[in-house]
Structures are given as structure tokens and as C-alpha cells.
Structure 1
Amino acid sequence: MKCEEQTPKDPIDLLPPATQIGENTFGCLVDGESFTPDGSPNSFSGSYNFHDGGYDLIVGGGNSQKDEISGVSVGTESLSINTGEKYSLFTRTSGNAYGSVYRSSNTSYTSSEYSGELFISKHDPENRIISGTFWYDIKDAFGDVHEIREGRFDIKY
């Protein structure tokens, strides 16, 4: 059998499965191409901590092998999350959820003009598991607009 027949043709097939068991996975499509952490030290982050009177969620991945976008993340700032809730991704300010991309040493965040949605499919504080999905549009520091789609994560914090 040829190797190319075993390689998924659809970029979404290269993303981690959408689990809810604390697998510490992260992935999405960036402008139609699969994006996952590259496995190098610090290429994945997933935490949910109490800070300055509220909870901050941060889930993201880095991939130094990608040409343009080398980091993608979603998070909340001083905003508690709940299973089954949807959160609009706007600016990175207290009480909001947001998305970000990292490109050429510049971090850009979602805004009122370029936004999206974060859905928490599971938050189990007892077992410290958070799983969810996300999508957003974002304008980077160079003026390019990117589509982040089919995002998924499953963390044990």
C-alpha cells in the first residue's frame, strides 16, 4: 500500500479528535490548513486559574514550522466558564472571551469587527477538565484577515 493513500486528504482529518477526557489537545484550521502544536517544549498551553478577582482560561498552541501564523489561542479574562455555554470572542479585556494569533513576533486579538465564538462542551471542576470548540475571524498586525475554523481543545488543568 502506498503511503499517500494512508495520509488524510482533508485538513480537518489532521486535527486531534474532539475529546472530553483531559487529553491536553488543541487544533484548528487556519485559512483552511490544519494547525496543531508542533510538540516542541512550550508549544501547548492549557490553564484555568483564578486571577485578579476572576478566572482566566488560556488554551493555545504554537507551531514554528508554519510559515505565517505560528501561534493560535482562545481564552477568557476574569470570566468564569460553564458547560454548555457559548461565549462571543471580542477584545481581550476583563469579563470577555477572546481569540488570538501570533505572527512574526506580533500578537493580535479578536475585536468587535473581527470576532467569533467559543463553546464550552465540558467543564468538570472536580476532575479539572475543560473541553470546547471555537471559531473566529481575526485581523493580524500586518492587516491580513485570517479564518480560524473547526477549533477544538481538551485540557486537564
Structure 2
Amino acid sequence: MRKTYYVLLLLFSLLSLGGCNNDDDDNIPEIDKLPPATQTGAGTFGCLVNGEAFVETGTYFNCYYQNVDGEYYFALGAENDSHNIIRQIILGSNAAEIDSNHSYELGCFEIPHSHYGEVSFTNLMGDYFTCETDYGYLEITKLDFTNHIVSGTFEFDIEHPSTGEIIKIREGRFDTLFTQ
């Protein structure tokens, strides 16, 4: 009888431990959920959207820097299917070069020789650009043509098309490989 009691106690203890809901992620500050700011081609992208972590989930991650008819085009796109405000963020240039250790003001996609930010909001159709706001930058911290690595930081504001709220994208960082 005593042996059965200890076996049941052990079994109950193991089942209790397996049923625990460990919500340690809820206690981590949002900034600490972002990938580190590296320059190794690690394939990372993250930022804070109104203080909430947005990290590329691997569903869509693409980067290119190409010369087309003598003009340079850069685009970096990241997606997070579970974020509650923004589904996709794109940083790019329209007939404008990028270079290491340079910061670029973000403007409108439609204007040649400009750099821009673009988002797709969760549960809304369409893409929205930094044209409507006054704040935004893209800083390229590394552009390595030999190893095809581009790294940088960014921040910008974007107006939510339904509410008019200014969405603040801060502490942005990326480190990835690009195609030419």
C-alpha cells in the first residue's frame, strides 16, 4: 500500500509539473524580445510598434539591392503574422543608392531618388507609406558587397488609415543577406 501511495504521489507530481503554464515571456521587456543589432548576415529583423515587439517570423523575409537601368533599388521586407497592429514592414529606396554609415530620411515611395517605409496593417487591405508623416530614418550600418550583407537601424511614424492614430515604429534593426 505504501509503495502504491508513493507511485501515485510521484505520478501526480509529474502531471502537475507538465500542466504548468510558464508565462515567462510575459515578464520580458518588449525591447529584449528584439534580435540583437548584429552585422553578420544573421537574417534578423525587429522593431517596437507602439512599444510592442515586432519580430520577423520567417513567413516572408526578402532583401535585395539591385541596379536597374543605372538606378539603384533597395527593398527589405519582413512579416509577422501574429502581430496585432502591423503584418508587414518594408524599407526601401526608389532609384536611390544606399551606403554604409549613412542615414537617410524616409519620404515617399512615388518620388524618385527617395527612401521610404511601408507597412501593411493587420486586417486591412493595401499598403501605406511614410509620405503622410514627418518622422522617419533608415541608417545603413553595414553594406558588404563581397558577402552580400546589409545591416542597419530604422525608425518611423505611420498613420493608421482607419483611426488616424500615429503608429510609432522604434528601435528597428535588421541584419541580413541581400541579392543583387
Counterpart AA for 1:76: S
Which residue pairs with 1:145 in the alignment? Answer: 166
Structure 1's consecutive aligned runs of 4 or more residues displaced over 3 angstroms after TM superposition are: 2-8
State percent identity of aligned pairs.
Answer: 36
User: Which structure dedicates a bigger proportion of its chain to helix?
Assistant: 2
Q: Distance in 1 between matches of 2:74 and 2:97?
A: 8
**1:156 maps to 2:174:** no
Q: Distance in 1 between matches of 2:175 and 2:32?
A: 17
Measure how far apart 1:121 and its partner are.
0.5
User: Which structure dedicates a bigger proportion of its chain to strand?
Assistant: 1
Q: Distance in 1 between matches of 2:77 and 2:34?
A: 14
**1:70 maps to 2:91:** no
Pairs aligned (count): 154
User: SS in structure 1 opposite 2:127?
Assistant: strand
Residues 89-146 of structure 1: per-residue CA shift (max 9 Å, x gap): 0111211111111011221000263331111101111221110000001113323320
Q: Which stretch of the first structure deviates more once superposed, 26-35 or 5-14?
A: 5-14
Q: Distance in 1 between matches of 2:72 and 2:112?
A: 10
Select the residue among 148, 151, 163 that pairs with 1:131: 151
Which residue pairs with 1:119 in the alignment? Answer: 139
Q: Distance in 1 between matches of 2:27 and 2:65?
A: 33
Counterpart AA for 2:173: R
Select the residue among 117, 126, 129 that pairs with 1:99: 117
**1:87 maps to 2:104:** yes
Q: Distance in 1 between matches of 2:157 and 2:72?
A: 24
- Bigger radius of gyration, 1 or 2? 2
Structure 2 unmatched ranges of 5 or more? 1-19
TM-score (norm 2): 0.78
Q: Distance in 1 between matches of 2:171 and 2:103?
A: 15
Select the residue among 44, 54, 61 that pairs with 1:35: 54
Q: CA RMSD in A?
A: 1.8
Structure 1 unmatched ranges of 5 or more? none
Asked if 2 retains the 8 angstrom alpha-carbon contact of 1:11 and 1:32, the reply is yes
